Amino acid sequence: MNAVNKVLVVGGGIGGLCAAIALRRKGIEVDLVELKAEWTVYGVGIIQQSNVVREMAKLGVLDGYLDAAFAFEDVSINTTDGQQLVRIPGQRLAGPEYPANVGISRLALHKVLSETTVALGASVRLGLSVETLTEDAQGVDVLFTDGSRGRYDLVVGADGLFSKVRGLLFGDKYQPRFTGQSVWRYNFPRPAAIDHLANYQGPAGNAGLVPLADDLMYMFVTSHEPGNPWMATDTLADEMRKRLSGFGGLIGELREQITDGSQVVYKPLEVVFVSEPWYRGRVLLIGDAAHATTPHLGQGAGMAIEDAVVLGEELTAGGSVEQQLERFMARRYERCKYISESSVLAGDKEIAHDHSFDRIGLVVQMLKLTAEPV
């Protein structure tokens, strides 16, 4: 008899959906609540590296996921003018027949994960959240924001950077922090040369080109934005071109095609890390709610997805809830801490214009570490 048979997942983003899938695959009953009344995600794509492809196989969604994604092998790091410094070969961690890495539009990823969640029988309610969590020795009584109630063996807070569940557990002890940088993104048609993830070391920030589909890729560039200024939409194209002003080569050519401010996706980077066990009693945080970091290593969602898979494994491996969550933390804490801290460090080095920083070494180390079993 499992200690946990019925779980509430709060948040229907990447981490919450993967948790719902992982738990349903293990036969655990799942209710999921999502704050947004319309279950959409914002545009642009996401890089998912070999460890994520491996976890998608464990979640049993790999075929549908790969159909919606652009599969690629290598990661290159290039100079500001586009000269290749290194091309790091991909690792096929899901098996030799599957690709090493993928680029996927956030919308396509959401479609695959949300449809699988519903098909596996999780009960999804939109447009609501939790109001209060009241725990006793046997379970958690939940009051939802629409006045309805439920009782669960475990509540999983997968509600992102501004997590309400984190507030219910820890008060205001952990608050998101602006790192000083922002990211700018823009979609382009994909040229044949961008058949892999191409990074470009810039004078002040880093740029990159990520393939998403046969005919689509996106560009990103990081920038230092002291004071986190507000950016009006009609200025975004001009401002993004300015952030790319030092680049030559392909990035320089593409820069001139950034003309539509409404197509620029601008995001200040905010981070939070819960530096103690991510649970109290029968309430656990996963994903960005516990460890939101910057995108410098392209692993934020990767860590949320790994959290979900490990949770499914530990909740069905015997013992009490306390023992299961302790084992979960033992497998997750140091790995996520490394990704969180290394990603923030890479951004800090860009802000400091520290060109002696060994970014290539960091990427190689990260790929080695994330290839290890979770």
Name residue 224's beta-bridge partners: 181
Stretch that binds ligand FAD, among 71-79, 155-163, 195-203, 238-246 (CB under 6 A): 155-163
| Smallest separation (angstroms) from ligand FAD to the CB of 1 | 30
Hey, what's the torsion of the CAs at 151, 306, 294, 222, to 10 degrees? -130
Give, in order, the Cα–Cα distances in Å from 156 to each of 182, 235, 279, 331: 29, 40, 9, 17
Tell me whether residue 137 or residue 188 sits nearer to ligand FAD (CB atom): 188
**Rounded Cα distance, 112 and 360, in Å:** 33
What would the x/- binding string for ligand FAD be over residues 107 to 136, using CB under 6 A?
A: ----------------------x-------
| Smallest separation (angstroms) from ligand FAD to the CB of 150 | 14
CB 152 within 8 A of CB 6: yes
Q: Rule CB under 6 A: which of 2-61 touch ligand FAD?
A: 10-16, 33-36, 46-47
Q: Does 159 contact ligand FAD by CB under 6 A?
A: yes
Q: Does 187 contact ligand FAD by CB under 6 A?
A: no
Count CB neighbours of 145 within 10 A: 14
Q: What is the rounded end-to-end Cα distance, in angstroms, of the chain?
A: 25
What would the x/- binding string for ligand FAD be over residues 247 to 276, using CB under 6 A?
A: --------------------x---------
- Kindly state the tokens that stand for 352: 């400091």
Stretch that binds ligand FAD, among 112-120, 136-144, 152-160, 334-342 (CB under 6 A): 152-160
- Kindly state the tokens that stand for 283: 């309430």
**Rounded Cα distance, 99 and 106, in Å:** 19
Compute φ and ψ for 258, nearest 5 degrees. -85, 100
Give, in order, the Cα–Cα distances in Å from 186 to each of 189, 209, 243, 293: 10, 10, 13, 21
Binding test (CB under 6 A) with ligand FAD, winner from 302, 309, 336, 340:
302
**Rounded Cα distance, 224 and 166, in Å:** 29
| Smallest separation (angstroms) from ligand FAD to the CB of 111 | 14
Tell me whether residue 183 or residue 194 sits nearer to ligand FAD (CB atom): 183
| Smallest separation (angstroms) from ligand FAD to the CB of 314 | 18
Binding test (CB under 6 A) with ligand FAD, winner from 139, 160, 211, 312:
160
| Smallest separation (angstroms) from ligand FAD to the CB of 320 | 26
Ranked by CB distance to ligand FAD, the top (closest) residue is: 13
Helices (H) and strands (E) in the chain, counts: 11, 20
Q: Does 347 contact ligand FAD by CB under 6 A?
A: no
Picking from 98, 88, 165, the residue whose alpha carbon sits closest to that of residue 362 is: 88
Instruction: Please give the residue ranges that form the binding site for ligand FAD (CB under 6 A).
Output: 10-16, 33-36, 46-47, 129, 158-161, 164, 183, 267, 287-288, 295, 298-302, 304
